[in-house]
Structure 1
Amino acid sequence: MEGVVGALGPLFLLILLGAILGRGPWPGGDFWPRLEGLIYYLLFPAMLLATLAEADIQAVPVARLALALLGAMLVLGAGLWALRRRLGLDTPAFTSVFQGALRFNTYVGVAGAAALHGPTGATVAAVAVALMVPVVNVLCVLTFLAAGTLGAGGVGKSLAALARNPLILACLAGIALNLSGLGLPGWSREAVGLLGRAALPLGLVAVGVALRPQALLRRDAGVWAANLIKLAVLPALVLSIALLLGLDPISRDVALLFAALPTATSAYILARQLGGDAELMAALITGQTLFAMLSLPLWLRLAA
């Protein structure tokens, strides 16, 4: 347990630092939105590209990892739709609960995998991102579409945004460079690697900046349902599948880590833009991030 807490503790301290900085007067202005854009569009894609282009992907059990992560995600996504009426949520609230239950904070996931298992963990995490990001985005867009919140032109815009997603494009480029045998030639290897190394600490600080403590006052059925699924049911299901499939300890830990992550801070922007319940989404992001500081080490300790 001390090893897990020792690995994850510094990550949570950076998130708390971001929460403190985000409430203060400095640096002020539009610094934080611009920084988040820099991380999302440049630094984090650089990290994924550098990792996947040089990694030994063949050593990662991709098919079993996909079955554990994507299988659990699809099962719970379908279950949420089956329980929609019983939850008693209006349409905007349901789309936010769906995002809160299935989306994951990529920054925390990759940083946690690297802290726990070094470069090998980072490689498995990059593969997990390549598998999960397209699927979770498609599922959420389909949910907004089925719920009727996208409007007339919303479908095309959402699909176009999905095709331009920098994380998806970076994963595809990294895998293509890896399979071609080119890797990152010359100075590009160090340059892209340096950019990538800046992504995780700044990304964790940005997670803290995005927290909204006042949103924790919300305590309706949607909050409890999403938190229960995200922090308890999904990790339990993924861990069970991983054990049944006989995943190696590193792949199992990374799969469990990604399943137990708090929801993504970007889900708030999507909820606001696509007709979801933005206040509920803020409550889910903040609550899950804080609760995950306790639940993540417990899940990883249980797996060990």
Structure 2
Amino acid sequence: MTGVENALGPLFLLILLGALFGWLRWPAGDFWPRLEQLIYFLLFPAMLLATLATTDVSQVPVGRLALVLLGTMALFATLLWGLRARLRIDAAAFTSVFQGALRFNTYVGVAGAAALHADAGTTTAAVAVALLVPVVNVLCVASFVAAGTLGPSSVTKSLSALARNPLILACLGGILLNLSGIGLPGWSEKAVTLLGRAALPLGLVAVGVALRPQALMRLDRGVWAANLVKLILMPAVVVALALLIGLDAVSRDIVLLFAALPTATSAYILARQLGGDAELMAALITGQTLLAMITLPLWLSLVG
């Protein structure tokens, strides 16, 4: 096995373990939705806060990272809108294709970065999250507005939810604590760090639980378009840009990792709430997560 496979293999096993739990429906009841809320609102923000508040982010080339990641995202967002008519799919399906092509699974990304490059990878991934999460959320909400699948009241509700997004707030809080020199004083650093350590393994298992194997039967034009962009075209463009501007090895691996990640499981909830094609979104989440177990190590091995 290569170093990339050794790093990512355990992560994929945790996702498959979650898929087994989902298939067995164990634990029963509302255990998994409540655990996902705990991860999303407490554990994962704690990890981002601890990382950004206490590490030397000056070692991360933030400007070049933003250029590669946000530039690529803007390119494909524009391209998808330009090709919307050619896709010949309805507005609801297009919003799911848009999410499937642009959103990324943050849990897999940060866990993969830590597995590949330890603390340096985690820090770079936290900066990538701080850059990408606000932008991708705004773009996806804007896609629902532009496609006409939701009304003005939903726009207000969506923007309000964006302003309260715990990942965005954790990133902002961590950056402010770092720049102010306060950091996490006293016992708070160890306490917040301990909380954050639980986020990644539990988050990966929760990703597996959210998979819907029955959705894999859907293989229409929207599925092919989103998968082509997410798993092939976007990583290819990011690799080219990273090499062009001379990113260091750690930053190059992290931007490629985030470009090649499967779409976020939370995209299904957004599709259902804002008038998207929820079944298409389920097919994209499940298909991309399984395909990424093959494509992600291939991309990283190619540049490594």
TM-score by length of 2: 0.99
Determine the C-alpha separation between the residues in 2 that align with 1:107 and 1:227: 19
Instruction: Tell me the equivalent position of 2:10.
Output: 10
Mapping 1:1-304, distance limit 5 Å: 2-304=2-304
AA at the equivalent of 2:244: L
Residue 150 of structure 1: how far off its partner (Å): 1.6
- Deviation track 1:67-103 (CA, whole Å, cap 9, x = no partner) reads 0000000000000000000000100000000000000
Which moved further from structure 2: 83-92 or 21-30? 21-30
Aligned length: 304
Determine the C-alpha separation between the residues in 1 that align with 2:150 and 2:37: 24
Determine the C-alpha separation between the residues in 1 that align with 2:295 and 2:200: 21
Residue 152 of structure 1: how far off its partner (Å): 2.9
AA at the equivalent of 2:238: V
Residue 198 of structure 1: how far off its partner (Å): 0.1
Residue 55 of structure 1: how far off its partner (Å): 1.1
Determine the C-alpha separation between the residues in 1 that align with 2:12 and 2:283: 18
Which ranges in structure 2 are unaligned for 5 or more consecutive residues? none
Determine the C-alpha separation between the residues in 2 that align with 1:26 and 1:142: 37
Residue 205 of structure 1: how far off its partner (Å): 0.2
- Deviation track 1:271-293 (CA, whole Å, cap 9, x = no partner) reads 00000000000000000000000
AA at the equivalent of 2:81: W
Determine the C-alpha separation between the residues in 2 that align with 1:166 and 1:66: 21
Which ranges in structure 1 are unaligned for 5 or more consecutive residues? none
AA at the equivalent of 1:63: G
- Deviation track 1:116-141 (CA, whole Å, cap 9, x = no partner) reads 00000000000000000000000001
Determine the C-alpha separation between the residues in 2 that align with 1:37 and 1:223: 28
Determine the C-alpha separation between the residues in 2 that align with 1:173 and 1:113: 21
**SS at structure 2 position matched to 1:183:** coil
Which moved further from structure 2: 149-158 or 258-267? 149-158
- Deviation track 1:237-271 (CA, whole Å, cap 9, x = no partner) reads 11111111100000000000000000000000000
- Deviation track 1:185-233 (CA, whole Å, cap 9, x = no partner) reads 0000000000000000000000000000000000100000000000000
Residue 3 of structure 1: how far off its partner (Å): 0.4
AA at the equivalent of 1:89: I
Residue 25 of structure 1: how far off its partner (Å): 3.8
Determine the C-alpha separation between the residues in 1 that align with 2:228 and 2:48: 30
CA RMSD of aligned residues (A): 0.6
Q: Percent identity?
A: 76
Determine the C-alpha separation between the residues in 2 that align with 1:244 and 1:172: 30
Determine the C-alpha separation between the residues in 2 that align with 1:183 and 1:120: 18
Determine the C-alpha separation between the residues in 1 that align with 2:246 and 2:26: 49
Runs of 4+ in structure 1 over 6 Å off: none
Determine the C-alpha separation between the residues in 1 that align with 2:73 and 2:238: 9
Determine the C-alpha separation between the residues in 2 that align with 1:149 and 1:99: 14
